[in-house]
Chain A
């Protein structure tokens, strides 16, 4: 039972899907098809991201990340966070493990928030696509307002989360790596 507990949400939804399938075969089939597509899309992006994260964890020293993105990194840290987020592609959930490893390596919390914001909304490949479908005016205005908003929101959220709460988050990410090294 204990080993199944993390899968509670997954099992719950699959059960719901099966109930729908039994009542409405057409809709149920569509749901399973779309779920399958989501999983295959994830498998396209997530395994290499985790592979890169493992390599990053082993090869990039903590000092490097602290220097460029840590507490004292200043404007360099902000710009680097925006750049790293904007250069990425893929859904926002792909950013979570990357941000997790940055936390572990000692990046400043506000820079983590800027990185998440940049990944969610400032992605360059998406921006090019947005120009072609919604027009230059729409895309450029959104991008410019967003870049200001991403930084401002990161700074405000950074203030609202207390030092203790941040410590808790950093401790959690540090512990996870200790467990994996021990095994």
Chain B
């Protein structure tokens, strides 16, 4: 759905651009292609890594670990899983909801959701290519610590 929208918008804009200025449009396409090709190796590596890691860490294993633990140790476990995996939101939220129903703690789930969205351990090589080592390490480290703060606040508000 989102992909279709994105494709339609870009194709419409491309046509408008082409009508307005052919030369500029050719330049734009050239730039798009060059930047895509230069980042493709990093993308391919990361996507393959995700495919490998996510298959070994099945939802069953993940839910087993979250369900078994509570307290700060449970939070550390869920935060590490969240930081490493790259589950899309539309899979992660229902998973989180069902884990909550099965008795997992709100804070464990909150820290999982937050690290999942903000910390990207496997995408770090890609991020470094764009913004350098320091930004990548700082952003991911801060986001990891911050996820615990978010979780504690959610824990206070929700329960």
Contacts and interface: CB of A to CB of B under 8 A. Distances in A.
B72 interface: no
B103 to A, nearest CB: 15
B89 A92 contact: no
Given A54-B35, A134-B96, A137-B157, A92 B114 contact: no
B117 to A, nearest CB: 5
A65 interface: no
A183 interface: yes
Interface residues of A, number: 83
6 contacts: A32-B51, A50-B33, A93-B127, A112-B131, A116-B139, A126-B93
Q: Chain B contact residues (Cβ within 8 angstroms of A): what range? A: 35 or more
B64 interface: no
B106 interface: yes
A122 to B, nearest CB: 9
Contacts of A165: 132, 134
The secondary-structure label for the interface of chain A is: helix
B118 A138 contact: no
Could you say which of A20, A38, A93 has the most chain B C-beta atoms within 10 Å of its C-beta?
A: A93
A14 interface: yes
Interface string B124-139: 0111001110110011
A96 B10 CA distance: 18
A54 B28 contact: yes
A36 B117 CA distance: 22
Given A48-B9, A165-B132, A145 B149 contact: yes
